[in-house]
Chain A
Amino acid sequence: GAVVSQHPSWVICKSGTSVKIECRSLDFQATTMFWYRQFPKQSLMLMATSNEGSKATYEQGVEKDKFLINHASLTLSTLTVTSAHPEDSSFYICSASFSGRAQEQYFGPGTRLTVT
């Protein structure tokens, strides 16, 4: 099956710093990648949709200048949390789909971000 990886799996950073999270599709080319956020005991909430070579589409209430998304290739999308604050501490999960099997999404293992 299709595999999606995320790096790092967990990260601790100080308030005010920036953190970059990578999402890679290992054995397929992802035409679309999605970034979700999950707070403790809550469900996954979509943050943004990313298509290769174009600007990401952000969901209402998600600050595009704070959560920078780059989808420079068909196998890599990055999420950068800029000027992180403790309230940004969360579990960030990416998923990817490709045109051949657009009906199914493949999820990465997630990145636990803790901002101190």
Chain B
Amino acid sequence: KQEVTQIPAALSVPEGENLVLNCSFTDSAIYNLQWFRQDPGKGLTSLLLIQSSQREQTSGRLNASLDKSSGRSTLYIAASQPGDSATYLCAVGSQAGTALIFGKGTTLSVSS
């Protein structure tokens, strides 16, 4: 059974810092991996989607990498801003069109 773990559970950084969020999964036979952002009491905002054949995806200040063989993904946030404060969720899809399995998330707080 696939399990997704995110470390750290919480992270506090001053504005401007670059940071890395980690995600690991137990079964390397994945179809894709998504990173989401969730603000308190809100739904999910999709940040990046990485297909199993890809190594990384970039969007603005965000870069996500995928190492399927080692069961790891990282989300790199450059030049963090207070507006980046949220919970970041990593989710793995095992097949096309199947449900995602989520990690518990990393709650990020960026202070000004």
Residues in chain A within 8 A of chain B (CB atoms) = 6, 31-32, 34, 36, 42-46, 49, 91, 93, 95, 97, 99, 102-110, 112
CA distance A86 to B62 in the complex (A): 39
- Beta-carbon nearest neighbor of B101 in chain A: A46
**Quick check: A103 and B43 within 8 Å, CB to CB?**
no
Does chain A have a CB within 8 A of B31? yes
The total of interchain contacts (Cβ-Cβ below 8 angstroms) comes to 59
How distant is the Cα of A49 from the Cα of B36 in the complex, in angstroms?
20
Interface of A is mostly: strand
The 8 closest A-B pairs by CB, nearest first: A109-B43, A102-B97, A110-B43, A102-B96, A43-B102, A107-B44, A43-B104, A46-B99
Cβ–Cβ contact B105 & A107, under 8 A: no
Interface of B is mostly: strand
Instruction: Give B residues with C-beta under 8 Å from A.
Output: 31-32, 34, 36, 41-44, 46, 49, 51, 89, 91, 93, 96-105
B51 — which chain A residues lie within 8 A by C-beta?
Answer: 103
25 example contacts (A-B, Cβ-Cβ < 8 A) are as follows A6-B43, A31-B97, A36-B102, A43-B102, A44-B44, A44-B89, A44-B91, A49-B98, A49-B99, A93-B44, A99-B97, A102-B96, A102-B97, A103-B97, A104-B32, A104-B34, A104-B46, A104-B49, A105-B34, A107-B43, A107-B44, A107-B46, A109-B43, A110-B43, A110-B44
Most buried by B among A6, A36, A103: A103
B7 smallest CB distance to A (angstroms): 14
CB pair B42 A103 closer than 8 Å: no
- Contact, CB under 8 Å: B43 / A105: no
Contact A43–B89 (Cβ < 8 Å): yes
Question: Which A-chain residue is minimally distant from B107 (CB atoms)?
Answer: A41
Q: 4 additional contacts, CB 8 Å, given A44-B89, A103-B51, A110-B43? A: A49-B99, A103-B32, A103-B96, A110-B42
